A and B are shown apart, each in its own frame.
Chain A
């Protein structure tokens, strides 16, 4: 019961802030709503028992990537928020199509989902497993997923070098 309340509150807040991200005119406010969105998604992860991922979400996503966005927004000083509306925009058509896609997703989710096993086989108690969340992820990362782990580190190195080269004034 408590879980249901938490889930519905968090989802309402997540969707509210997401809608605010794409709809406000001021870009800085948009970025701030994105941070709020990410923080509530991290809370959702804690609800799902993924504590390590929740902290990584706050540390990397909300505390790193969005700071980067905020820096760029501040450096790209917009004199006025985007006011000119492209006549080719057709935002109402885009909205209608998006809602159609959403309806499709919901139908797939409801019809394609197999009802879960009875409560005994569903998620075991969180307290017993909470201690092991970090260890489980650590094991998985270093045994089954060692190659993707190393490739990800190379990817980050390449991205770092690329970002520095692109943002350098000499170009």
Chain B
């Protein structure tokens, strides 16, 4: 019997994996993808509860999360391209223009 607790643990594990990606990796594109993993983890949680409570609100919230993730990915990747054009790097350790 799969209870929402199972889905919460899966979601927590996926969230933590995304978190590790954000903290440890230095390639900014990988960091963005880890953020997408975290958003997916949240979505899994929402849908699991929506399924248990038989309410469509969880799925509607998940649709909005996907929509915001799309907007964020578009603008974020635009920023990455703009920075890459100026600094020729995608390593966030080298994107430290505010520090001499």
Binding site for B on A (CB under 8 A): 3-4, 7, 11, 14-15, 18-19, 21-22, 27, 30-31, 34, 37-38, 41, 44-45, 48-50, 52-53, 56-57, 60-61, 64-65, 68-69, 72-73, 75-76, 78, 82, 84, 86, 89, 91, 94-95, 97-99, 101-102, 105-106, 109-110, 113, 115-116, 122-124, 129, 133, 136-137, 139-141, 144-145, 148, 152, 155-156, 158-160, 162-167, 171
Contact with A along B30-55 (1 / 0, CB 8 A): 10111011001001100110111010
In the bound complex, CA of A123 to CA of B57 (Å): 16
Q: Is the CB of A155 within 8 A of B68?
A: yes
**C-alpha spacing A164/B78, complex, angstroms:** 8
CB-CB nearest 4 A-B residue pairs? A166-B78, A159-B71, A105-B12, A22-B21
B33 A31 Cβ-Cβ under 8 A = yes
CB-CB under 8 A for A68 and B74, given A56-B63, A109-B12, A141-B60:
yes
Instruction: Say whether chain B's binding surface is mostly helix, strand, loop, or mixed.
Output: helix
CA distance A89 to B27 in the complex (A): 13
Chain B residues contacting A141 (CB-CB under 8 Å) are 60, 63
**B: interface residue count bin:** 35 or more
| Chain B residues with CB below 8 A from A152, complex form | 64, 67-68
Task: State in angstroms the CA–CA spacing of A60 and B63 once bound together.
Answer: 10
* Contact flag A123-B21 (CB < 8 Å), given A37-B40, A68-B74, A148-B64: no
CB of B66 to closest CB in A, whole Å: 6
Q: Are B71 and A106 in contact, with the CB atoms below 8 A?
A: no
CB of B95 closer than 8 Å to a CB of A: no
Distance between Cα atoms of A34 and B90 in the complex (Å):
19
Give Cα A131 to B66, complex, Å. 23
Closest chain B residue to A162 by CB distance?
A: B75
Q: Determine the distance from Cα of A18 to Cα of B22 in the docked complex, in whole angstroms.
A: 12
Are the C-beta atoms of A48 and B51 separated by less than 8 Å?
yes
Given contacts A18-B18, A140-B56, contact A69 B24 (CB under 8 A): no
CA distance A101 to B16 in the complex (A): 7
User: Cβ of A102: which chain B residues have Cβ within 8 Å of it?
Assistant: 12-13, 16
CB atoms of A106 and B9 under 8 A apart: yes
Residues in B with CB closer than 8 Å to A30 are: 30, 33
Say yes or no: is B23 at the interface (Cβ < 8 Å to chain A): yes
B75-95 Cβ-contact flags toward A at 8 Å (1 or 0): 101111110100000110100
